[in-house]
Amino acid sequence: MPQLWSDETLPAARRAELRGWALLAIGSLAIAGTLALLLGLSRTPKIQDWLPWGPHFFYRALVTHVVLSFEVWFLAALGAFSTLVAPPGKAGNILGRLGLTLGVAGVVLLLIPALADQGEPSLNNYVPVVGHKLFYIGLGVHALGVALAAVRVLPLLWSTPRNPVRFGIAAAALAYGAALVCFLLAWAMIPAGTEADLLNERVFWGGGHVLQLVNTMLLMVAWQALAVRAYGTGPLAASLTVACFAALGLFAAASPLIYLVDTDVLGLSHRQLFTRLLWVGLPLPPLVMGLGLTLQILKGPRHWRSPAFLSLALSLFVFAIGGFAGFFLGVADTRTPSHYHAVIGGVQLGLMGVFLLHILPILGRPVDEGRGVRLQFHLYGWGQLVHALGFFLAGAAGVPRKTTGIDQGLDTVWKKVSMGVVGMGTGLAVLGGVIFVWMALVRLLKRREASHD
Amino acid sequence: MIKSFAPAALLLATIILLAGWLTGRTAGEFSVVEFYTAEASSFRAKVDAQTASHGTGQSLEGIPVVHPPAGDVYMAVKRWEFSPALELEPGARYRLHLLTEDVVHSAAIDETEILLEPGIAKVVSVTAPLSGRVRIQCGEYCGLGHTKMIGSIEVLGAKPKP
């Protein structure tokens, strides 16, 4: 297991590819952050009059921000992970390089409509879109690029002995393929002439849910890698960890069958079936692994000054709180964003740990594991937790989700204080995110590697 | 022993859950509602007649407020409004008829959700609580104003007396 992450096993071609995926991942976060800043400016009186964009810029920028910080960042992480474990060989290298090229080209294409102020934005769930050909083509090209990189790790599903991290990445690649099949089936089955907003919502609904299984597997890969770094061993026996990944992979692989079981892709029951996927298929494996990790942490030692331990513990805690909140959701109040912000925060913390503590050192661009890294994890982790707590309390008091201003109906002190807590958490998490992007990007953009000069 | 049992048990549990999910056995009970075909224009005429006979004369952000008696109540749905706003009697039972006039919406009424498709009116039974509000909101993405598509159903007893 330890040799998996050491640079001896990664030839120069793979290191170059890994740097490319890492730059795509972190660069996407940086652009997403810049867009978030422009979002703020486009809602600021006076300043908004100086900006050269039309009134729909806010929504286009919001769509692009979400796609970059949610889809591209996670999928580029899958691309990076695939580079680390794909069996050696020329074919794998070619697939990886081609995949990376398409992955980057896709992002460039989908950025064009947002910056050129073109296309109708749609804030549908999971993969919001800008209704412009270039955006859809960019999304497709990016998805194909990640698929090409991911497909080369599928043979690891059958290879023995089974290494948990290798198997986990292969299972995530399989689940990603299943998500793409769901997108394609939905697109093919929705009747022609369906109104654009409904079309976008339902095309990305099923596959969007399956992508959450992919994200969960990426998190579990991160937990395994960080636990090995912090403790020298994973939280569970290797066979049980592999079974956890296999369980998620099975659900993901079977999910396209829903399109045969319930063919009315526009119906309510179809929508609710995929909602059930997250209730029935997702919780058990991360729960088992999370319990193992909790025991490992309780047994100790607990080195709070170690960034690997910190990212591991915070990731587990924030994800667990978010997962627990998922069992207390209302229909349309802010308990839903409370749940998904916390679970996504948990995934982000795990991936941040892997990027800073594994991938950058492999690339010969290590970070100093001092106060800055620890501060970053604390700010981001506790910020996400405070943010989610505020949303949960506000939702329990009846504040509707995805609303702003007067539509929130903040008519009690409880609701106002809860939403104030949300804002405070957001501020802390944004600071942590900015520090992470800065630390990683500065090192990735350096021309020369530290340990391979 | 445990080392080999735990992975097998996890995979067995997964296969059982997977079979349940694919056959729909893990789903909760979907709400059963009445439905009938309806023309948008004739439904709108019922809404207008209801407003004429039971309107309070007030409006909420341009949407008329209606105080109907217990029984059948008509509510038109379109981007991004539920019209009219309702005032209900505490504890009274209503049959709420909903019809979308433009695209597909849904009505999430408290913990229940009903999909609304053009041309098909849905009827759902609502018993007004003794105080407070009955929350009604669109749960199917229908455009940029979707998140603001929240109806108003107030229970009269909840309003402070002037």
The answer to whether residue A87 scores a pLDDT higher than 60 is yes
According to DSSP, residue B102 is labeled S
- How do residues A180-238 score in pLDDT, each as one tens digit? 999 999 999 999 999 999 999 999 999 999 999 999 999 999 999 999 999 999 999 99
* Residue of chain A whose alpha carbon sits nearest to that of B133: A398
Percent of the residues in chain A that have a pLDDT greater than 70, as a whole number:
91
Same domain, B76 and B15: no
Asked whether the bond before A301 is cis by omega within 30 degrees of 0, the reply is yes
Given an 8 Å threshold on Cβ–Cβ distance, is B3 in contact with A266?
Answer: no
Given an 8 Å threshold on Cβ–Cβ distance, is A198 in contact with B141?
Answer: yes
- How do residues A34-78 score in pLDDT, each as one tens digit? 887 777 676 666 666 677 666 677 788 889 989 998 899 999 999
The total number of structural domains in chain A stands at: 1
Neighbours of B12 (CB within 10 A): 10
Q: Which of A344, A355, A435, A335 is nearest to A384 (CA)?
A: A344
Q: Supply the pTM of this predicted model.
A: 0.91
B chain contacts of residue A200, beta-carbon cutoff 8 Å:
141
ipTM value? 0.88
Chain B residues touching chain A at CB-CB below 8 Å? 3-4, 6-8, 10-11, 13-15, 17-18, 20-24, 26-27, 30, 103-104, 106, 108, 110-115, 135, 137, 139-144, 146-148, 150
B chain contacts of residue A239, beta-carbon cutoff 8 Å:
3-4, 6-7
Out of A121, A243, A407, closest to residue B148 by CB:
A407
A-B CB pairs within 8 A amount to 129
Confidence of residue A2 (pLDDT cuts 50, 70, 90): very low
Residues A94-112: what's their mean pLDDT? 96
Q: Could you tell me if residue A7 is inside a domain?
A: no
Same domain, B16 and B81: no
Residue that wins the pLDDT comparison between A52 and A115: A115
Sign of CA dihedral A394, B90, B151, B58: negative
* Residue of chain B whose alpha carbon sits nearest to that of A240: B7
Same domain, B65 and B132: yes
The total number of structural domains in chain B stands at: 2
Q: Position of tokens 């007649």?
A: B49
Given an 8 Å threshold on Cβ–Cβ distance, is A268 in contact with B30?
Answer: yes
- How do residues A263-287 score in pLDDT, each as one tens digit? 899 999 899 999 999 989 999 999 9
- How do residues B7-18 score in pLDDT, each as one tens digit? 999 999 999 999
Q: Could you tell me if residue A321 is inside a domain?
A: yes
B chain contacts of residue A121, beta-carbon cutoff 8 Å:
144
Confidence of residue B161 (pLDDT cuts 50, 70, 90): very low
Residues A49, A186 contacting (CB under 8 angstroms):
no
Given an 8 Å threshold on Cβ–Cβ distance, is A276 in contact with B27?
Answer: yes
Q: Could you tell me if residue A393 is inside a domain?
A: yes
Given an 8 Å threshold on Cβ–Cβ distance, is A332 in contact with B139?
Answer: yes
Q: Could you tell me if residue A407 is inside a domain?
A: yes
Q: Could you give the count of Cα atoms lying within 13 Å of A309 in the half-sphere of its Cβ?
A: 13
Same domain, B112 and B146: yes
Q: Which site among A280, A328, A408, A410 would you substitute to test the B interface, given the most B Cβ atoms closer than 10 Å to its Cβ?
A: A280
Same domain, B48 and B2: no
Distance from CA of B88 to the nearest CA of A (A): 20
* Residue of chain B whose alpha carbon sits nearest to that of A252: B18
Distance from CA of B1 to the nearest CA of A (A): 12
Residue-averaged pLDDT of chain A: 89
Same domain, B13 and B61: no
* Residue-range definition of the domain harbouring residue A320: 305-453
Same domain, B63 and B113: yes
A166-170, A223-227, A341-345, B96-100: range with lowest mean pLDDT: A341-345
Same domain, B81 and B20: no
Counting beta carbons within 10 angstroms of the beta carbon of residue B4, is it exposed (0 to 12), middle (13 to 18) or buried (19 or more)? exposed
Same domain, B140 and B77: yes
Percent of the residues in chain B that have a pLDDT greater than 90, as a whole number:
63
DSSP secondary structure string, A94-123? HHHHHHHHHHHHHHHHHHHHHHTT-SEEE-
Buried b (16+ CB within 10 A) or exposed e, B101-128: bebbbbbbbbeebbbbbbeebbbbebeb
Given an 8 Å threshold on Cβ–Cβ distance, is A332 in contact with B108?
Answer: yes
- 3 state DSSP class of B36: strand
Residue-averaged pLDDT of chain B: 88
Given an 8 Å threshold on Cβ–Cβ distance, is A198 in contact with B140?
Answer: yes
Given an 8 Å threshold on Cβ–Cβ distance, is B14 in contact with A247?
Answer: yes
* Residue-range definition of the domain harbouring residue B12: 1-27
SS (H, E, C) A37-92: HHHHHCCCCCHHHHCCCCCCHHHHHHHHHHHHHHHHHHHHHHHHHHHHHCCCCHHH
> Residues 6 or more apart from A133 whose CB is under 8 A from it?
none
Residues B14-43: what's their mean pLDDT? 81
**Tokens standing for residue A376:** 């970053």
Q: Which of A324, A420, A433 is nearest to A384 (CA)?
A: A433
Q: Could you tell me if residue A400 is inside a domain?
A: yes
Distances (CA, A) of B112 to B28, B109, B125: 11, 5, 11
Same domain, B86 and B100: yes
Residues B149-158: what's their mean pLDDT? 83
- The pair phi, psi for residue A276, each rounded to 5°, is -65, -30
A208-212, A374-378, B27-31: range with lowest mean pLDDT: B27-31
Residue that wins the pLDDT comparison between B126 and A141: A141
Same domain, B54 and B3: no
Percent of the residues in chain A that have a pLDDT greater than 90, as a whole number:
65
A166-175, A245-254, B23-32: range with lowest mean pLDDT: B23-32
The answer to whether residue B30 scores a pLDDT higher than 70 is no
Same domain, B76 and B56: yes
DSSP secondary structure string, A359-376? IHHHTT-PPP-SHHHHHH
Confidence of residue B113 (pLDDT cuts 50, 70, 90): confident
The answer to whether residue A112 scores a pLDDT higher than 80 is yes
